[in-house]
């Protein structure tokens, strides 16, 4: 079985979250969710998404369902702001609890997003801007259905 490219689903989720004006106001940049470590100058607070395995579900009832691993790394000068950003995402972007219809793209529908286990990682330094920040890592559970 071929594995679908889930980039469209990830981009759709990123676009939907960044369209949330309250969330976007928490970030230093209106484009402040990065799909990997940015190699250009950024300012905190920002969110970095790290994707793990795409995990296709291969049982007979799960054809076209993916459960990718996602870790959100949140960087900010103040560690409480990192936890505040994680709490906001959990309170407002838990699919299907707060977004019962999920997020739809042309080929995919995100039917589950659970944000859990924020863990303080420690102080870091942004290389490009030389800014000292704190990092909180958050595990996310996703379910993506092929439409």
- Mean pLDDT for all residues in the chain: 87
Whether residue 68 lies inside any domain: the answer is no
For residue 3, pLDDT beyond 80: no
Structural domain range at position 2: 1-34+42-50+79-111
Question: Is the overall model pTM greater than 0.75, yes or no?
Answer: yes
The pLDDT score that the predictor gives to residue 69 is 84
- At residue 30 the predicted structure's pLDDT band, cuts being 50, 70 and 90, is confident
Q: What is the mean pLDDT of residues 25-53?
A: 82
The pLDDT tens digits for 82-132 are 999 999 999 999 999 999 999 999 999 999 999 988 999 999 988 777 889
> Does any domain span residue 18?
yes
When pLDDT is cut at 50, 70 and 90, the band that residue 1 belongs to is: very low
Domain-located, residue 24 = yes
Chain centroid offset of residue 34 CA: 9
Q: Is residue 4 situated within a structural domain?
A: yes
Q: Mean pLDDT throughout 13-30?
A: 92
Residue 5: what pLDDT? 79
CA distance 16 to 58: 28
Q: What is the pLDDT of residue 14?
A: 93
In a domain, 7, yes or no: yes
Average pLDDT over residues 127-142: 89
Domain count, the chain: 1
Q: What is the pLDDT of residue 54?
A: 63
Identify the pLDDT of residue 59. Answer: 57
User: Residue 103: inside a domain, yes or no?
Assistant: yes
Distances (CA, A) of 49 to 62, 136, 138: 25, 12, 10
Provide DSSP, 79-122: HHHHHHHHHHHHHH--BTTT-TT-EE-SSEEEEEEEEEEEEEEE
Does any domain span residue 121?
no
Q: Decide if 14 is inside a domain.
A: yes
CA angle, corner 143, sides to 15 and 46, nearest 5?
40
- Average pLDDT for 132-145: 92
């Amino acid at each position: 079985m071929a594995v679908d490219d889930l980039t469209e689903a990830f981009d759709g989720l990123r676009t939907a979250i960044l369209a949330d004006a309250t969330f976007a106001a928490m970030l230093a940049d209106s484009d402040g969710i990065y799909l990997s470590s940015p190699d250009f100058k950024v300012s905190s607070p920002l969110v970095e998404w790290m994707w793990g395995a795409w995990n296709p579900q291969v049982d007979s009832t799960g054809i076209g369902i993916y459960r990718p691993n996602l870790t959100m790394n949140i960087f900010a000068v103040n560690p409480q702001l990192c936890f505040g950003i994680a709490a906001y995402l959990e309170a407002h972007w838990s699919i299907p609890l707060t977004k019962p219809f999920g997020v739809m793209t042309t080929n995919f529908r995100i039917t589950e997003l659970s944000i859990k286990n924020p863990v303080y990682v420690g102080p870091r330094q942004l290389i490009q801007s030389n800014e000292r920040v704190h990092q909180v890592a958050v595990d996310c559970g996703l379910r993506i259905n092929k439409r």
